[in-house]
Amino acid sequence: MYEWNEAIQKMIDWIESNLTENPSLLDMSKQIGYSPYYCSTQFHEIVGLTIKSYVAGRRLAMATLEIRDTKERILDIAIKYGYSSHEALTRAFVNAYGCTPSVYRRKPVPLSLSNKQVVLFPHHYIDKGDYEMTKTILTDANVRVEYIPAHKYIGIWDVNATNYCDFWKNHDCDEICGIIDSMSHVSDPIITCHTAGWFYEEGKRGYFYGFGVPADYSGVIPKDFEVKEFPGGYYLVFYHPPFDYLKDCGEVMNRVEEMAWNFDPSSKGYKWNEQECQCYQRHYPEVIGYEVLRPVKKI
């Protein structure tokens, strides 16, 4: 039911803004105008977790990132995120990750962090009958040339998936995204925005998901991930500027991908280079829009 997805997303957003406070069920119910009982039952139904479990997971995830990225005392971080003591945070940390906060701070390792949930998607507007193309902000897809330096990529490559939805049918989204979040401190800022895309194996197109790291990276590789190395090179970037995700995402992606997969690179003086490199996606609807990057070589 669309109304509940919208209400639960409001609750999730409110929780994210109040993780360092004491977000109670009563406070959240007031935010969206439903009783605490209905909020609790519908949250569990849609998210798959109780509100208490979800809040605990997100607090631990945020505390973990601060332990990794700051020099704040672990006790102060514990209190900030609602733990009664250093020992209370340590118990939660060990139960979740198998090591203490102090050990993790000295040597960060990949962890499956609890991610912020998203339960409101474009199809909810379509199902409700409210979908209407916002013609005034949609444009035709366009193309430009961009150079990406040599880098390594840590990810999961699935030859049996051809797109984002297919990929997550075969893999645990929460676990993989949580691990990637825990590795953000080693990611390459130039490649960080490339979290997914396509590759070719024996002429067959598959789909991958992961994150880029510098070319000289020699650190840990998470379990079930692998690392590949790619040379610097040029890419044709097929793009659409920022748009309304809930109303226009499907149409924008169709326009960009239609152009990307049917474009003749020789019209720009290039040929495809997908034997040496892979194709990337950038999907930040209200920031940069949607982009598909295909590697090329000059003719």
We report the CATH number of the domain holding residue 47 as 1.10.10.60
Q: Are residues 148 and 92 in the same domain?
A: no
Q: Are residues 149 and 83 in the same domain?
A: no
Q: What is the pLDDT of residue 137?
A: 65
pTM of the predicted model as reported, rounded to 2 decimal places:
0.78
User: 49, 79, 106 — which closes off a domain?
Assistant: 106
In a domain, 64, yes or no: yes
* Sequential pLDDT tens for the chain (299 residues): 567 788 888 889 889 998 998 777 888 787 777 788 888 888 888 888 898 999 999 999 999 999 999 999 999 999 999 999 999 999 999 999 999 999 999 999 999 999 888 887 665 444 444 444 444 468 999 999 999 999 999 999 999 999 998 999 999 988 999 999 899 999 887 776 668 999 999 889 999 999 999 999 999 999 999 999 999 999 999 999 998 887 888 999 999 999 999 999 999 999 999 999 999 999 888 788 999 999 999 99
Q: Are residues 21 and 157 in the same domain?
A: no
DSSP the chain: -HHHHHHHHHHHHHHHHTTTS---HHHHHHHHTS-HHHHHHHHHHHHSS-HHHHHHHHHHHHHHHHHHH----HHHHHHHTT-SSHHHHHHHHHHHHSS-HHHHHHS-----PPPPP----HHHHHHHT-----TTT----EEEEEEE--EEEEEEEETT--SHHHHHHHS-HHHHHHHHHHTGGGS-TTTTT--EEEEEETTEEEEEEEEEE-TT--S---TT-EEEEE--EEEEEEEE----HHHHHHHHHHHHHHHHHH--GGGGTEEE-TTTS-EEEEEETTTTEEEEEEEEEE-
Q: What is the pLDDT of residue 192?
A: 63
In a domain, 135, yes or no: no
User: How many separate domains does the chain show?
Assistant: 2
Q: What is the pLDDT of residue 268?
A: 94
Q: Whose structure tokens read 């990637």? A: 180
Whichever domain contains 265, its CATH number is 3.20.80.10
In a domain, 126, yes or no: no
In a domain, 89, yes or no: yes
Q: Which domain holds residue 247?
A: 142-298
Q: Are residues 146 and 294 in the same domain?
A: yes
Q: Are residues 29 and 168 in the same domain?
A: no
In a domain, 258, yes or no: yes
Q: Are residues 100 and 217 in the same domain?
A: no
Residue 266's contacts (CB-CB under 8 Å, 6 or more residues apart) are: 299
Contact between 216 and 167 under an 8 Å Cβ cutoff? The reply is no
In a domain, 111, yes or no: no
Q: How far is CA 189 from CA 121, 171, 293, in A?
A: 28, 25, 17
Q: Are residues 45 and 167 in the same domain?
A: no
Q: What is the pLDDT of residue 34?
A: 77
Q: What is the pLDDT of residue 119?
A: 82
Q: Are residues 237 and 161 in the same domain?
A: yes
